Structure 1
Amino acid sequence: MNTILIVDDEPQMLELITDCLQLLPVEVQTEHDSAAARKRLQTESFDLVMLDVMMPSPDGWELLKETAGLPSPPSVIMLTALGDNDQVVRGLQHGADDYVTKPFEPAILAARVEAVLRRKRPHSGSTISCNGLTVDSVRRQAAFEGSCLSLTKKEFDLVALLVKRPGQVFTRQQLLDEIDDHASAASDRTVDTHMKNIREKIRRAGGSSSLIETVWGIGYRLGNRK
């Protein structure tokens, strides 16, 4: 069952949203204190978080930014004032999955929640594992022996490529193409820096940093577990 956390400083709004979702197969939890919500997001796991934009510090924008850095980021629906299109655009640009304007129709709110959770659900064949590394291409999450790796977008893309083709040697240029890094400053050192960070995160998760092997003069490959 999916778990939803609703964060809004108005108790009546928390009660209203909870009532709207009571027919869905979800567990709903609420928090009216945004500071308390911040602590819960750091220690608990949620599939979806619904954030009111206008709250005392930390406000919805701060919490949205912080959720993106969690080891297993939840989906996020922003709750915004009617007609505030600037807030809607800002939320979507900063990683929110959807938005709901107040006041809202209960059926529309429930449908949006269902749609976001449906997109989050992993599809068959979305998860690939090799030598202790697991990548989920739908959730865009990676783990080593069950320990979540907090990877950046580009780091995830590189790990996913290596896991899908274990043993294959990739040149640095191929890896740059994979992460679509065509900035003028991008170079072999860019790839080396990403690989160094990935190795360190694997090491902190209990793996060997040599799992990703350097092929001198060429590039990198996913090797065997040591």
Structure 2
Amino acid sequence: MVTILVTEDDAHIRRLLREHLVMEGYHVLESKDGDDALQVMERHHIDLLITDVMMPSMDGLELTRDLREAGYEFPILMITALETLDDKKRGFSSGGDDYMVKPVDMEEMLLRVAALLRRAKIASSNVLEIGNSVLNQEQLTISTGDTVVELPTKEFRLLHKLLSHPRKIFTRQQLMDEIWGYDVQSIDRTVDVHIKRLREKLSEIKDFEIITVRGLGYKAEKRGLS
């Protein structure tokens, strides 16, 4: 099931969006502003963000910029009462993928959400296959044959990030920004500790390996590749 986060300070609009999305079969999370959204994303994987632009605390433009700078790539649909061309330019320039003006036509919103997910190639099953191994984002598990390993959220997100881009090198800072970017208590050593735990837990899975690239960071490769 695709998970969508609705970030909107107006509780009535937030409820309407949620109701229509749920009726369409999506799993919906809610937040009242940008700061609240970041806390939700610390605990949950999301596939698409719908965000209002004008909100107290952290607004939608700042939220979108921060997410893009941290490496988050999921689609972002911006919703706002601002409708000038300059307003739309600011929305797209901040990293938004689509833009709707209030009052929102719910049927059109659902069409836009489906199109964004289709373009992002988000599968409703939320699974990633590497050889005989399958990562399930809903269950936070990796399985191969009869072996199923359940992982804590951050370990799963770290593994999923590496396996989603085989052979791509990620620096520790890149991984920190995406997985722990808004946890001020985190330190660089955190990445190394989580990689060590993953290697220990997945030692019996032979479809891939997590490789340390000295002086740079980490990458994942299918077994047998050089």
Q: TM-score range by the shorter chain?
A: 0.5 to 0.7
C-alpha distance in structure 1 between counterparts of 2:170 and 2:17, whole Å: 45
Rg comparison, structure with higher value = 1
* Conserved 8 A contact 1:53-1:80: yes
One-letter amino acid of the counterpart of residue 36, structure 2: A
Offset at 1:33?
Answer: 4.0
Question: 1:74–1:28: structure 2 CA closer, same or farther, 3 Å change rule?
Answer: same
For the aligned residue pairs, the C-alpha RMSD in angstroms reads 4.2
The DSSP-based 3-state class of the residue aligned with 1:209 is: strand
In the TM superposition, residue 70 of structure 1 has moved relative to its aligned partner by 4.8
Is this contact kept in 2: 1:6–1:28, CA < 8 A? yes
Residues 20 and 85 of structure 1: CA distance in aligned 2, closer, same or farther (over 3 Å):
farther
Preserved CA contact (<8 Å) 2:3 2:46: yes
Query: Partner residue of 2:212?
Result: 209
Give aligned-pair identity as a percent: 26
- CA, structure 1 residues 18+147, in 2 after alignment: closer, same or farther (shift >3 Å)? same
| Partner Cα separation in structure 2 for residue 118 and residue 59 of structure 1 | 27
Q: CA deviation at 1:53?
A: 0.6
TM-score (norm 1): 0.57
Question: Structure 2 counterpart of 1:8, which letter?
Answer: E
Shift of 1:129: 6.3
Amino acid at match of 1:121: K
Residue in structure 2 matched with residue 46 of structure 1 by the alignment: 46
What is the aligned partner in structure 1 of residue 62 from structure 2?
Answer: 62
Relative contact order (C-alpha < 8 Å, sep 6+): which is higher? 2
Q: How does 1:176-187 map to 2 (within 5 A)?
A: none
Q: How many residues align?
A: 166
Amino acid at match of 1:7: T
TM-score (norm 2): 0.57
Runs of 4+ in 1 over 6 A off after TM superposition: 127-130, 200-204, 222-226
CA distance in 1 between partners of 2:171 and 2:157 (Å) = 18
Match of 1:147 among 159, 177, 184: 159
Q: Verify the 8 A CA contact 2:75 2:116 in the aligned structure 1.
A: yes
Residue 149 of structure 1: how far off its partner (Å):
4.6
Q: Is the 8 A contact 1:80 1:87 kept in 2?
A: no
* Deviation by residue 1:9-66 (Cα, 9 ceiling, x = unmatched): 1111102222332431211222224322221123321111111110112111121122
